[in-house]
Amino acid sequence: MNVDELVSVVVMLSVPVAGLGLLAGSIVGIVVGKPRTKRIWATVLTLEVVLGILLLYGFFVVFGAVDGSWVPLAFAGAVTATAVLMIWQLFKAKARYITVGAVWVVLVSLVAGAVARSVHDQGLLVLRSADAQVDLQLYEPFAPGTLAKSLTGESTLQFSADLPRLDGATALYPLYASFARATYPPGDYDPEADLGDSSEPPPDEWTTYSEVICSRTANAFANLLDGAADAVFLMGVSDQQREEAAARGLELELTPIGREAFVFIVSQGNPVSDLTSEQIRDIYSGQVDNWRQVGGKNHQIDAYQREEGSGSQTALQGVMDGRPIKEPLRNERISGMDPMARAVADYKNSDHAIGFSFRHYLETMVGYDQIKLLSIDGVAPTPDNIASGAYPFTVDFYAVTARPVEPGLPVDDPYQSELVYEPDPERAANAQRLIGWILTDQGQELVRAVGYVPIDG
């Protein structure tokens, strides 16, 4: 043991030894001292015990055994105040007891409020982590009883080989699954498999391949940049995602294929049914934080958001029209559109929460009756108002492809610096054929059949 280690051990041992010595001295002073001396030693003993508890708590916080909280500090303060009042008999007896009672009533009230808030937050954290979505298997293109839509006649486009590999947002999976049903050969296209050729043998028993999957917006976009997906179907592309593509030497092509309403939702228990566009921006910029300011009850607004890169968060950024979005609290950032809807519908948030999503997803794919879609500027998000453009937050959704700005150059990727973006030319060509077909009457027929609004209204 070197000198530094010896000094550290001595210091570590001296603190508890000194504390125990002072504790013993305090007890002796209380037992043998005069009345006034006893009070002094009793006060010292109280402070020693409180300080010891706080030091022990701090030790557990530092080493991650417990989370930091103000409750132990408040408890220590209440104990100290009570001890001082009672030991020194400050004030008359009645006033003393009233003061001590008031201290503890305030403490208990604060702790009860903290516990209630914690329970509320934990419920939301469960919603965030569960991230339950609709059962995508129900829309698998050729599954028995599939909810994917069929054309009224035979498709003018049919693939037999070099199938484009498709991925996309959850809300759009029923649509591009219907495209696959119309143009792909019958087969097993598991939406939760890995992107790949379903005819190839997988490397192990846990892996399956499918040409049509749904990994959600952020993962689908990553698959596009990596060259794993030939086309992805998204509600939009964020500035951050565009920058990522440009940094990797890729050019994105966004083809609008339909229209949808980006909607804001509240619980059925909330009396507010209509907000203006400006009120939405005020809420999500943090200028308005109480429902009373927009015609509701006197409750704080819990304005939920999605993770960066999700389709709905990108749509919110478009709605804000350049205004900065306030940083959400920990419990206000929710992963997944279904957890967003459930968080808003939760009875504990009946008058407090506002969230956002897309009309078709909420009305058709999840169908929560505990929430309502707000009108914006007095216009409801109906198909007719989407088609006419009367609904203010009408958005296009896209088939997105990528190609290298300069073919053959290495992709700028810190993990794959030698990777060259070279998508299969036959599949890439077929992806363009598919997108062209989607814009025909047959493709737009499926857009309408699924429940979206065709691109031309």
CB burial of 122-132 (b: ≥16 within 10 Å; e: otherwise) equals eebeebbeeee
**Tokens 């927009």, residue?**
294
Res 304 pLDDT > 50 = yes
% of the chain exceeding 70 in pLDDT = 75
Least confident of 340-344, 373-377, 453-457: 340-344
Pair 67, 88 in one domain: yes
Last residue of a domain, one of 122, 151, 181: 122
Choose among 392, 398, 359, 389: nearest CA to 376: 392
pLDDT greater at residue 423 or residue 225: 225
Please state, in angstroms and rounded to a whole number, the distance separating the CA atoms of residues 229 and 176.
13
The domain spanning residue 391 has which CATH number?
Answer: 3.40.190.10
Residue 300 within a domain? yes
Q: How many CB atoms lie within 10 A of CB 59?
A: 11
pLDDT band at 70 (very low <50, low <70, confident <90, very high): low
- Residue 169 above 50 pLDDT? yes
Residue 250 lies in a domain: yes
Selected residue with higher pLDDT from 404 and 156: 156
Q: Is this structure's pTM higher than 0.75? A: no
pLDDT per position as a tens digit, 86-109: 777 767 777 777 887 887 788 787
What's the whole-number mean pLDDT along residues 360-368?
84
Assess whether pLDDT exceeds 60 at residue 412.
no
Amino acid (one-letter) located at 143: A
Q: Summarize the confidence of residues 393-399 as an average pLDDT.
A: 97
Same domain, 270 and 370: yes
Strand partners, 252: 402
Q: Give me the mean pLDDT over the 384-402 stretch.
A: 96
Does residue 401 lie within any of the structural domains? no
Residues 263 and 250 in one domain: no
**Residue range 24-42: mean pLDDT, rounded:** 67
Position 424 scores a pLDDT of 87
Q: Which residues sit opposite 453 in a β-bridge? A: 259
273 shares its domain with 388: yes
Q: Is the pLDDT of residue 3 over 70?
A: no
447 and 320 co-located in one domain:
no
Q: Does one domain contain both 423 and 379? A: no
In this structure, is residue 403 part of a structural domain? no
Residues 379 and 267 grouped into a single domain: yes
Q: What is the mean pLDDT of the chain?
A: 82
Is 8 among the domain residues?
A: yes
DSSP 329: P
Average the pLDDT over 330-355 and give the result: 63
- Which residues, in sequence order, are CB contacts of 126 under 8 Å at separation 6+? none
pLDDT greater than 50 at residue 127: no
The encoded tokens of residue 262 equal: 């980006």
Q: In terms of domains, do 383 and 335 share one?
A: yes
Mean pLDDT over residues 259-266, rounded?
A: 95
110 with 58, same domain: the answer is yes
Residue where the block lists tokens 């049903």: 181
**Same structural domain for residues 245 and 140?**
yes
pLDDT of residue 124: 39
- Does 369 have pLDDT greater than 60? yes
Model pLDDT, residue 120? 46
- Domain containing 266 equals 259-395
Domain membership flag for residue 232: yes
Tell me whether strands 231-234 and 394-404 are parallel, antiparallel or unpaired. Answer: antiparallel
**Residues 276 and 295: beta-carbon distance below 8 Å:** no
Give the per-residue pLDDT at 121: 45
Quote the number of domains for the chain. 3
Asked whether the predicted pLDDT for residue 63 surpasses 70, the reply is no
Distance CA(425)–CA(438), nearest Å, equals 20
| Predicted pLDDT of residue 19 | 58
* Domain annotation covers residue 400: no
Confidence of residue 418 (pLDDT cuts 50, 70, 90): very low
**pLDDT confidence of residue 296:** 93
Task: Tell whether 388 and 275 lie within a shared domain.
Answer: yes
pLDDT level of residue 250 (50, 70, 90 thresholds): very high
Q: b/e per residue, 106-120, with b = 16+ CB within 10 A? A: ebeeeeeeeeeeeeb
In the numeric block, which tokens belong to residue 132? 């339950």
* 386, 425: one domain: no
pLDDT band (50, 70, 90) for residue 132: very low
Answer yes or no: is 407 within a domain: no
The answer on pLDDT for 346 being more than 70 is no
Among the candidates 92, 122, 152, a domain finishes at 122
Over residues 70-85, the mean pLDDT reads 76
User: Domain boundary at 100, 122, 144, which?
Assistant: 122
Tell me what the mean pLDDT of segment 10-34 comes to. 62
Q: How confident is the model at residue 147 (pLDDT cuts 50, 70, 90)?
A: very high
State yes or no: pLDDT of 355 exceeds 50: yes
Least confident of 45-59, 122-136, 274-288: 122-136
382, pLDDT greater than 80? yes
